[in-house]
A and B are shown apart, each in its own frame.
Chain A
Amino acid sequence: MHEISLVRNIFRTLEEEYPGKMGSVRGIYLKVGLLSNVQPILMQNAFNAVLEDDPGYAKSTLIVEVLPVLVYCEDCDKTTEVEHYKFACSCGKPSRNIVQGEELLISKVEFEEETIEL
Protein backbone atom coordinates (compact mmCIF):
# COMPACT_ATOMS: atom_id res chain seq x y z
CA MET A 1 0.00 0.00 0.00
CA HIS A 2 1.14 3.53 -0.79
CA GLU A 3 4.82 2.61 -0.36
CA ILE A 4 6.11 5.87 -1.86
CA SER A 5 4.41 7.96 0.80
CA LEU A 6 5.69 5.59 3.47
CA VAL A 7 9.26 6.11 2.23
CA ARG A 8 8.74 9.88 2.34
CA ASN A 9 7.43 9.35 5.86
CA ILE A 10 10.64 7.52 6.79
CA PHE A 11 12.75 10.44 5.59
CA ARG A 12 10.54 13.01 7.30
CA THR A 13 10.66 11.05 10.56
CA LEU A 14 14.46 10.77 10.41
CA GLU A 15 14.86 14.47 9.69
CA GLU A 16 12.76 15.33 12.74
CA GLU A 17 14.56 12.87 14.97
CA TYR A 18 18.12 13.42 13.72
CA PRO A 19 18.21 16.88 12.12
CA GLY A 20 21.16 17.60 9.87
CA LYS A 21 22.45 14.04 9.93
CA MET A 22 20.87 12.96 6.66
CA GLY A 23 24.19 12.64 4.84
CA SER A 24 25.67 10.25 7.38
CA VAL A 25 22.79 7.76 7.49
CA ARG A 26 23.96 4.38 6.19
CA GLY A 27 21.41 1.82 7.30
CA ILE A 28 17.69 2.21 7.94
CA TYR A 29 16.09 -0.83 9.59
CA LEU A 30 12.34 -1.25 9.39
CA LYS A 31 10.18 -3.67 11.29
CA VAL A 32 6.89 -4.36 9.55
CA GLY A 33 4.29 -6.66 10.99
CA LEU A 34 2.42 -8.94 8.59
CA LEU A 35 -0.76 -6.99 9.37
CA SER A 36 0.71 -3.70 8.18
CA ASN A 37 0.11 -4.70 4.54
CA VAL A 38 3.62 -3.60 3.58
CA GLN A 39 5.46 -5.66 0.98
CA PRO A 40 9.27 -5.58 1.45
CA ILE A 41 10.08 -5.74 -2.27
CA LEU A 42 7.72 -2.87 -3.08
CA MET A 43 9.19 -0.92 -0.20
CA GLN A 44 12.69 -1.39 -1.66
CA ASN A 45 11.49 -0.27 -5.09
CA ALA A 46 9.81 2.79 -3.61
CA PHE A 47 12.95 3.57 -1.61
CA ASN A 48 15.10 3.49 -4.75
CA ALA A 49 12.55 5.55 -6.68
CA VAL A 50 12.39 8.26 -4.03
CA LEU A 51 16.20 8.40 -3.87
CA GLU A 52 16.28 9.39 -7.54
CA ASP A 53 14.41 12.59 -6.70
CA ASP A 54 15.87 13.12 -3.27
CA PRO A 55 19.52 12.04 -3.27
CA GLY A 56 20.12 13.13 0.33
CA TYR A 57 19.94 9.54 1.54
CA ALA A 58 21.70 8.05 -1.49
CA LYS A 59 24.32 6.36 0.66
CA SER A 60 21.81 4.58 2.83
CA THR A 61 20.36 1.10 2.56
CA LEU A 62 16.91 0.01 3.60
CA ILE A 63 16.61 -3.28 5.48
CA VAL A 64 13.06 -4.52 5.98
CA GLU A 65 12.28 -7.23 8.51
CA VAL A 66 8.82 -8.80 8.38
CA LEU A 67 7.39 -9.93 11.70
CA PRO A 68 4.81 -12.71 11.94
CA VAL A 69 1.61 -12.17 13.89
CA LEU A 70 1.72 -13.42 17.49
CA VAL A 71 -1.20 -13.59 19.90
CA TYR A 72 -1.02 -14.03 23.66
CA CYS A 73 -3.24 -16.43 25.59
CA GLU A 74 -3.86 -15.57 29.24
CA ASP A 75 -4.98 -19.08 30.13
CA CYS A 76 -1.78 -20.69 28.85
CA ASP A 77 0.48 -17.67 29.49
CA LYS A 78 2.11 -18.12 26.11
CA THR A 79 2.23 -16.64 22.63
CA THR A 80 1.25 -18.46 19.44
CA GLU A 81 1.97 -17.54 15.84
CA VAL A 82 -1.18 -16.85 13.86
CA GLU A 83 -1.50 -19.14 10.84
CA HIS A 84 -4.12 -18.95 8.10
CA TYR A 85 -5.46 -15.84 9.82
CA LYS A 86 -6.94 -17.83 12.66
CA PHE A 87 -6.41 -15.60 15.67
CA ALA A 88 -6.31 -18.28 18.35
CA CYS A 89 -3.93 -19.85 20.85
CA SER A 90 -2.61 -23.37 20.16
CA CYS A 91 -5.03 -24.49 22.91
CA GLY A 92 -7.85 -23.42 20.59
CA LYS A 93 -9.06 -20.39 22.54
CA PRO A 94 -9.62 -17.32 20.31
CA SER A 95 -7.45 -14.33 21.15
CA ARG A 96 -7.38 -10.74 20.00
CA ASN A 97 -4.44 -9.94 22.22
CA ILE A 98 -1.94 -9.24 19.44
CA VAL A 99 1.56 -8.87 20.82
CA GLN A 100 3.31 -8.68 17.45
CA GLY A 101 2.32 -8.15 13.81
CA GLU A 102 0.96 -4.60 13.62
CA GLU A 103 4.35 -2.85 13.62
CA LEU A 104 5.35 -0.25 11.08
CA LEU A 105 8.41 1.32 12.57
CA ILE A 106 12.04 2.25 12.16
CA SER A 107 13.83 -0.03 14.61
CA LYS A 108 17.43 0.99 14.05
CA VAL A 109 19.44 3.65 12.25
CA GLU A 110 23.10 3.32 11.43
CA PHE A 111 25.22 6.40 11.03
CA GLU A 112 28.69 6.74 9.73
CA GLU A 113 30.62 8.71 12.29
CA GLU A 114 33.38 9.84 10.04
CA THR A 115 34.01 9.52 6.35
CA ILE A 116 37.47 9.94 5.01
CA GLU A 117 37.57 10.86 1.37
CA LEU A 118 39.78 8.44 -0.52
Chain B
Amino acid sequence: MISPKSNRTPVGSVQCENTSLHLLKANDYVAKVIRERLPNLLVINVCSSPGSGKTTLMQQTAKYLNDRLKIAVLVGDPETERDAIRMKEVGINALQIVTGGMCHIEAQMILQALDHIDLNNTDILFIENVGNLVCPAAFDLGEDYRVTLISCTEGDDKPKKYPRMFLTSELMLVSKSDLLQYLPFSVDAVTEDARDINPDLEVITISSINGEGMEQWCNWLKQKAISKREHATEIAEQR
Protein backbone atom coordinates (compact mmCIF):
# COMPACT_ATOMS: atom_id res chain seq x y z
CA MET B 1 0.00 0.00 0.00
CA ILE B 2 1.08 3.57 -0.54
CA SER B 3 1.79 5.45 2.61
CA PRO B 4 0.43 8.98 2.59
CA LYS B 5 3.57 10.11 4.42
CA SER B 6 5.85 8.74 1.76
CA ASN B 7 7.25 11.13 -0.80
CA ARG B 8 7.93 8.50 -3.37
CA THR B 9 5.72 5.87 -4.84
CA PRO B 10 6.74 2.41 -3.82
CA VAL B 11 6.77 0.04 -6.73
CA GLY B 12 6.40 -3.63 -6.15
CA SER B 13 3.95 -5.92 -4.51
CA VAL B 14 2.79 -5.79 -0.94
CA GLN B 15 2.94 -8.82 1.26
CA CYS B 16 0.46 -9.26 4.06
CA GLU B 17 1.00 -10.99 7.36
CA ASN B 18 -2.15 -11.71 9.28
CA THR B 19 -1.15 -11.86 12.87
CA SER B 20 -2.38 -11.56 16.41
CA LEU B 21 0.29 -9.78 18.41
CA HIS B 22 -1.05 -8.78 21.77
CA LEU B 23 0.44 -5.43 22.81
CA LEU B 24 0.40 -6.08 26.54
CA LYS B 25 1.87 -9.55 26.06
CA ALA B 26 5.05 -8.66 27.96
CA ASN B 27 3.05 -7.47 30.99
CA ASP B 28 0.83 -10.55 30.96
CA TYR B 29 3.89 -12.78 30.80
CA VAL B 30 5.44 -11.12 33.87
CA ALA B 31 2.09 -11.37 35.69
CA LYS B 32 2.20 -15.13 35.13
CA VAL B 33 5.73 -15.28 36.56
CA ILE B 34 4.50 -13.44 39.69
CA ARG B 35 1.61 -15.92 40.12
CA GLU B 36 4.04 -18.82 39.92
CA ARG B 37 6.33 -17.19 42.43
CA LEU B 38 3.61 -16.62 45.04
CA PRO B 39 1.62 -19.87 45.21
CA ASN B 40 0.73 -19.66 48.92
CA LEU B 41 0.18 -15.99 49.41
CA LEU B 42 -3.09 -14.18 48.69
CA VAL B 43 -2.38 -11.23 46.37
CA ILE B 44 -4.92 -8.41 46.17
CA ASN B 45 -4.71 -5.52 43.70
CA VAL B 46 -6.44 -2.53 45.33
CA CYS B 47 -7.62 0.12 42.86
CA SER B 48 -9.56 3.39 43.13
CA SER B 49 -9.52 7.09 42.31
CA PRO B 50 -7.02 9.22 44.25
CA GLY B 51 -8.29 9.92 47.75
CA SER B 52 -10.82 7.10 48.09
CA GLY B 53 -9.20 5.84 51.25
CA LYS B 54 -6.94 3.00 50.08
CA THR B 55 -4.08 3.77 52.47
CA THR B 56 -6.37 4.35 55.46
CA LEU B 57 -8.12 1.08 54.66
CA MET B 58 -4.76 -0.73 54.63
CA GLN B 59 -3.96 0.75 58.06
CA GLN B 60 -7.33 -0.23 59.51
CA THR B 61 -7.26 -3.68 57.91
CA ALA B 62 -3.89 -4.44 59.55
CA LYS B 63 -5.26 -3.24 62.87
CA TYR B 64 -8.47 -5.23 62.56
CA LEU B 65 -6.76 -8.45 61.48
CA ASN B 66 -4.32 -7.92 64.31
CA ASP B 67 -2.03 -10.93 64.15
CA ARG B 68 -4.63 -13.38 62.83
CA LEU B 69 -3.39 -12.70 59.31
CA LYS B 70 -0.15 -10.91 58.50
CA ILE B 71 -0.28 -8.40 55.69
CA ALA B 72 2.33 -6.66 53.57
CA VAL B 73 1.71 -3.78 51.18
CA LEU B 74 3.39 -2.68 47.96
CA VAL B 75 2.17 0.84 47.39
CA GLY B 76 2.41 2.67 44.08
CA ASP B 77 2.44 6.42 43.62
CA PRO B 78 3.69 8.62 40.81
CA GLU B 79 5.90 10.51 43.31
CA THR B 80 6.87 10.50 47.03
CA GLU B 81 7.10 7.76 49.64
CA ARG B 82 4.40 9.22 51.85
CA ASP B 83 2.02 6.26 51.74
CA ALA B 84 4.68 3.69 52.68
CA ILE B 85 5.72 5.94 55.56
CA ARG B 86 2.09 6.17 56.74
CA MET B 87 1.85 2.39 56.74
CA LYS B 88 5.18 1.77 58.42
CA GLU B 89 4.09 4.17 61.18
CA VAL B 90 1.38 1.69 62.16
CA GLY B 91 3.73 -1.27 61.88
CA ILE B 92 2.81 -2.58 58.42
CA ASN B 93 5.52 -4.22 56.32
CA ALA B 94 5.32 -1.81 53.38
CA LEU B 95 7.40 -0.88 50.37
CA GLN B 96 6.86 2.13 48.14
CA ILE B 97 6.94 1.77 44.38
CA VAL B 98 7.54 5.21 42.88
CA THR B 99 6.32 4.93 39.31
CA GLY B 100 8.13 8.09 38.21
CA GLY B 101 5.03 9.90 37.01
CA MET B 102 3.42 6.85 35.46
CA CYS B 103 -0.33 6.51 35.82
CA HIS B 104 -0.38 2.81 36.71
CA ILE B 105 1.76 -0.02 38.10
CA GLU B 106 3.05 -2.61 35.61
CA ALA B 107 3.79 -6.23 36.48
CA GLN B 108 7.54 -5.70 36.02
CA MET B 109 7.54 -3.17 38.90
CA ILE B 110 5.94 -5.74 41.19
CA LEU B 111 8.38 -8.46 40.17
CA GLN B 112 11.32 -6.19 41.00
CA ALA B 113 9.75 -5.08 44.28
CA LEU B 114 9.40 -8.72 45.39
CA ASP B 115 13.19 -8.85 45.73
CA HIS B 116 13.11 -6.01 48.25
CA ILE B 117 10.35 -7.06 50.61
CA ASP B 118 10.41 -9.91 53.13
CA LEU B 119 7.25 -11.97 52.63
CA ASN B 120 8.09 -14.75 55.08
CA ASN B 121 5.20 -15.26 57.53
CA THR B 122 2.97 -13.08 55.36
CA ASP B 123 -0.57 -14.21 54.51
CA ILE B 124 -1.79 -11.40 52.29
CA LEU B 125 0.11 -9.12 49.93
CA PHE B 126 -1.79 -6.00 48.98
CA ILE B 127 -0.78 -3.99 45.95
CA GLU B 128 -2.10 -0.49 46.45
CA ASN B 129 -2.29 0.74 42.88
CA VAL B 130 -1.88 4.32 41.65
CA GLY B 131 -5.11 6.27 42.20
CA ASN B 132 -6.69 6.06 38.74
CA LEU B 133 -9.75 4.18 37.51
CA VAL B 134 -8.63 4.03 33.87
CA CYS B 135 -5.17 2.67 33.11
CA PRO B 136 -4.61 0.24 36.01
CA ALA B 137 -7.62 -1.74 34.71
CA ALA B 138 -5.58 -2.94 31.73
CA PHE B 139 -2.58 -4.24 33.67
CA ASP B 140 -2.61 -7.67 35.27
CA LEU B 141 -0.20 -7.58 38.23
CA GLY B 142 -0.34 -11.28 39.00
CA GLU B 143 -3.04 -10.73 41.62
CA ASP B 144 -5.64 -13.29 42.72
CA TYR B 145 -8.36 -10.69 43.17
CA ARG B 146 -8.92 -7.10 42.20
CA VAL B 147 -10.74 -4.95 44.73
CA THR B 148 -11.97 -1.51 43.71
CA LEU B 149 -12.89 1.17 46.22
CA ILE B 150 -15.42 3.82 45.37
CA SER B 151 -15.88 6.42 48.05
CA CYS B 152 -19.32 7.93 48.47
CA THR B 153 -17.86 11.43 48.08
CA GLU B 154 -17.01 10.59 44.45
CA GLY B 155 -20.65 10.15 43.42
CA ASP B 156 -22.60 7.02 42.56
CA ASP B 157 -22.24 7.46 38.79
CA LYS B 158 -18.66 6.16 38.56
CA PRO B 159 -19.02 2.49 37.52
CA LYS B 160 -20.49 3.24 34.10
CA LYS B 161 -17.90 5.97 33.51
CA TYR B 162 -15.03 3.56 34.19
CA PRO B 163 -16.54 0.24 33.13
CA ARG B 164 -13.38 -1.77 32.61
CA MET B 165 -12.23 -1.34 36.18
CA PHE B 166 -15.50 -2.68 37.56
CA LEU B 167 -15.63 -5.39 34.92
CA THR B 168 -12.25 -6.74 36.00
CA SER B 169 -12.86 -6.52 39.77
CA GLU B 170 -14.26 -9.23 42.00
CA LEU B 171 -15.19 -6.95 44.88
CA MET B 172 -16.31 -3.33 45.13
CA LEU B 173 -15.92 -1.56 48.46
CA VAL B 174 -18.15 1.48 48.90
CA SER B 175 -15.88 3.44 51.23
CA LYS B 176 -16.32 6.36 53.63
CA SER B 177 -19.80 5.09 54.51
CA ASP B 178 -19.72 7.21 57.68
CA LEU B 179 -20.36 10.17 55.34
CA LEU B 180 -23.37 8.61 53.56
CA GLN B 181 -25.82 10.47 55.78
CA TYR B 182 -24.55 13.81 54.46
CA LEU B 183 -24.45 12.94 50.77
CA PRO B 184 -26.89 12.28 47.93
CA PHE B 185 -25.17 8.96 47.23
CA SER B 186 -27.18 5.79 46.74
CA VAL B 187 -25.47 2.47 47.53
CA ASP B 188 -28.30 0.68 45.69
CA ALA B 189 -27.81 2.80 42.56
CA VAL B 190 -24.03 2.31 42.50
CA THR B 191 -24.48 -1.44 43.06
CA GLU B 192 -27.06 -1.70 40.28
CA ASP B 193 -24.84 0.18 37.81
CA ALA B 194 -21.76 -1.84 38.74
CA ARG B 195 -23.67 -5.12 38.37
CA ASP B 196 -24.94 -4.08 34.92
CA ILE B 197 -21.26 -4.24 34.00
CA ASN B 198 -20.30 -7.17 36.16
CA PRO B 199 -23.16 -9.32 37.44
CA ASP B 200 -20.82 -11.35 39.69
CA LEU B 201 -19.36 -8.32 41.51
CA GLU B 202 -19.53 -8.56 45.31
CA VAL B 203 -20.21 -5.34 47.21
CA ILE B 204 -19.35 -4.34 50.77
CA THR B 205 -20.11 -0.94 52.31
CA ILE B 206 -17.22 0.05 54.53
CA SER B 207 -15.89 2.80 56.78
CA SER B 208 -12.34 2.97 58.09
CA ILE B 209 -13.52 5.62 60.55
CA ASN B 210 -16.43 3.92 62.35
CA GLY B 211 -15.57 0.32 61.42
CA GLU B 212 -18.73 -0.45 59.43
CA GLY B 213 -18.16 -3.43 57.12
CA MET B 214 -14.65 -4.11 58.46
CA GLU B 215 -15.62 -7.50 59.81
CA GLN B 216 -17.27 -8.52 56.54
CA TRP B 217 -14.22 -7.31 54.56
CA CYS B 218 -11.76 -9.11 56.82
CA ASN B 219 -13.82 -12.31 56.67
CA TRP B 220 -13.78 -12.06 52.89
CA LEU B 221 -9.99 -11.77 52.98
CA LYS B 222 -9.64 -14.62 55.45
CA GLN B 223 -11.78 -16.93 53.36
CA LYS B 224 -9.83 -16.13 50.18
CA ALA B 225 -6.47 -16.54 51.94
CA ILE B 226 -7.50 -19.94 53.31
CA SER B 227 -8.81 -21.23 49.98
CA LYS B 228 -5.66 -20.13 48.20
CA ARG B 229 -3.49 -21.92 50.73
CA GLU B 230 -5.62 -25.06 50.52
CA HIS B 231 -5.42 -24.98 46.76
CA ALA B 232 -1.62 -24.67 46.93
CA THR B 233 -1.42 -27.61 49.35
CA GLU B 234 -3.61 -29.75 47.07
CA ILE B 235 -1.36 -29.01 44.11
CA ALA B 236 1.77 -29.74 46.16
CA GLU B 237 0.29 -33.07 47.29
CA GLN B 238 -0.60 -34.07 43.73
CA ARG B 239 3.04 -33.70 42.87
Taking Cβ atoms with an 8 Å cutoff, the residues of A that contact B are: 1-2, 6, 9-10, 13-14, 17-18, 26-27, 35-37, 51, 58-61, 84-88, 94-96, 98, 104-118
Contacts and interface: CB of A to CB of B under 8 A. Distances in A.
Given A87-B199, A96-B199, A37 B17 contact: no
Task: Sort A-B residue pairs by CB-CB distance and give the 9 closest, nearest first.
Answer: A94-B199, A114-B12, A106-B21, A116-B11, A1-B135, A86-B196, A109-B17, A85-B163, A111-B15
Interface residues of B, number: 42
Contacts, number: 125
A2 B19 contact: no
B11 A110 contact: no
Contacts of A117: 8
Q: Looking at B13, B19, B137, which has the most chain A CB atoms within 10 Å of its CB?
A: B19
B1 A13 contact: no
B13 A114 contact: yes
Interface stretch (B22-30, B206-214, B224-232): B22-30
Interface string B96-138: 0000001110000000000000000000000000000011011
B226 to A, nearest CB: 25
Interface in B49-63: none
23 contacts: A1-B103, A1-B135, A2-B104, A6-B23, A13-B21, A26-B2, A27-B1, A35-B163, A51-B5, A58-B5, A59-B5, A59-B10, A61-B3, A95-B199, A104-B22, A106-B21, A106-B23, A107-B20, A108-B17, A110-B16, A110-B17, A111-B14, A112-B14
